[in-house]
Amino acid sequence: MRALRVLVPILVLIAAPARASVDEDADEWLLFGRVLALVQPVVHLAARSPDPQAAQKAIDAMLAGQNAEANRIAAGLFDEMMADVPLEHRAAFASIGRDVLVIARREQARAAAQPQPDVSAERAIEARKELHAMGLRYWDEQQFLEAARRGDAIAVELYLAARGLRNPPAAR
C-alpha cells in the first residue's frame, strides 16, 4: 500500500507533461488545420481549372480580402497565433502583417511588369549547342534532310528548335 502511495503521485507527475504535450499537439494540429483550410481551395482550383492563372487569381483575391471564407479562416488563424501575445503588442503585429502584404503585392506587380525572357530563344540556343555537340550545323539544310531521311527524330526536333534554317523542308 505504501508503494502505491508513492507510485501514484509519480505516475501523475509523469502523465501531466504527457497530457500537456497531447494538448499542445492538438493545438498545433488545429492551427495546421486552419492553414490547410486556406491552402486547400487554392490548390484545388489550380488543379481543376482550365485557366492556368486560376490559382494566382484566387491568391490575389484572398490577399485583397475579397474571399469571405478565407477572411474568416485567416482571422481565426491570427487570433490563435496572437493568443499568447500581450494586447498592447497585437496592433503592431497586425500592422506589420498588413505592410508585408502591401510589399508582397507591390513586388508581385513589379515582377509582372518586368519583361519575361524569351524562352524560345533560350531553347533555340540550347538546341544549337546540342546539334553542335552531335557534329551537326544548325543552319545546314542538307544535314537536316539527311537526319530526316535516316529517321533521326531527335536531330530533326533540334533543327526545328534551333531555328537556323530559313525555310525548313518540313515546313514547306
The string of DSSP codes covering the chain is -HHHHHHHHHHHHHHHHHHHHHHHHHHHHHHHHHHHHHHHHHHHHHHH-S-TTHHHHHHHHHHTT--HHHHHHHHHHHHHHHTTS-HHHHHHHHHHHHHHHHHHHHHHHHHHHSPPP-HHHHHHHHHHHHHHHTT--TT-HHHHHHHHHTT-HHHHHHHHHHT-SSS-GGG-
Mean pLDDT of the chain: 78
The lowest-confidence range among 75-79, 133-137, 158-162 is 75-79
pTM of the model as a whole = 0.43
